[in-house]
Amino acid sequence: MTREQTGRMKDDLTAMWNRDASLPAAPEFVQENAWVISSQRGDALAFNRLVLKWESRVYNLALRMLQHPDEAAEATQEVFLSAYKSIRRFRRDAKFSTWLYRIALNHCISRARRRPQGAHFSLDDGREGATQADQLRASDSQEGELLRAENRQRVRGALAFLPPEQRAVVELKFFQEMTFDDIAAVLGVPLSTIKSRLYAALDSLKVRLGART
């Protein structure tokens, strides 16, 4: 990075702090913004630092939305490519994660809609099945992991019955722990719609997950 680029970044950060003095002085936040600014100037390395930070969350979001590990991996790669191409249009008036989740959810909803009706979703993908078989022969200390894997399967199975729009709201509310206002901003729909989708989704999920085993 040249001295001129470094100077510009400093200017941008100073302007950002002056614009909103109430922002918390969290080093992580500053660091992420510095990476975003560098990415907007075409620095692929800086963008890949953002990828490293957010890829696990985006992948798990895609997995819960699409149900299939291979498809989720493919979608995650496409989401980051899309974000890289359009990061110059990110105006930094919202959180980077909000902007990234919006891309990811739109991408996953679009994929889910394109998928033919009755298309398969993996409740028992090969990797996890093998793990279970191994775990059945394993010691008691691994029993907890087995239970968590089963729980993940049950949750993904229940989510698969939800329409993509309801799945997106559940994803943001319970897995990304966003507020209703943030969810409305990410999905670009009114708050009342968000709540009605969430309560309808909770009704469906309660039928499949509510009973104690």
Partner 1 sequence: MIAGCSQHQQYIQRSLVDDLSPEEQLALNEHMAGCASCRAEHDRYAHTLHQLQSYGEEPLPRHFFVYPEEVETKPWQLFRRLTPSWQMATASLAAILLMAGVAAAFHVQFRSDHGAWTLSFGRPVVQGVSDLASFKADILKTAEQKNQEAVLIWIQNLRDDLARTHADVTQEQKTQLVAALSSLETRLDNRIALTADDTRTATQKSLVELYQMISQQHEQDLNVIDSRLRLDADSREVKTKQTDAILDTLIQVANLNLKQAGEQK
CB of 42 to partner 1, least distance (A): 8
Residue numbers at the binding site for partner 1 (CB under 8 A): 42, 44, 47-48, 51-52, 55-60, 63-64, 69, 73, 76-77, 80-81, 84-86, 88-89, 148, 151-152, 154-155, 170, 173-175, 180, 195, 198-199, 202-203, 205-206, 209-212
Q: Which is nearer to partner 1, 3 or 171 (CB)?
A: 171
CB of 110 to partner 1, least distance (A): 17
End-to-end CA distance of the chain, in Å?
58
What is the rounded distance in angstroms from the CA atom of residue 67 to the CA atom of residue 158?
Answer: 10
What is the rounded distance in angstroms from the CA atom of residue 180 to the CA atom of residue 173?
Answer: 7
CB atoms within 10 A of CB 137: 7
Q: Which is nearer to partner 1, 21 or 127 (CB)?
A: 127
Q: Which is nearer to partner 1, 55 or 116 (CB)?
A: 55
Q: In the Cβ-directed half-sphere of 78, how many Cα atoms lie within 13 Å?
A: 15
Q: In the Cβ-directed half-sphere of 61, how many Cα atoms lie within 13 Å?
A: 30
Q: In Å, how far are 4, 129, 140, 153 from 147, measured between CA atoms?
A: 55, 13, 11, 10
Q: Which is nearer to partner 1, 23 or 133 (CB)?
A: 133
138 residue type, one letter? A
CB of 31 to partner 1, least distance (A): 18
CB of 44 to partner 1, least distance (A): 5
Q: Which is nearer to partner 1, 123 or 155 (CB)?
A: 155
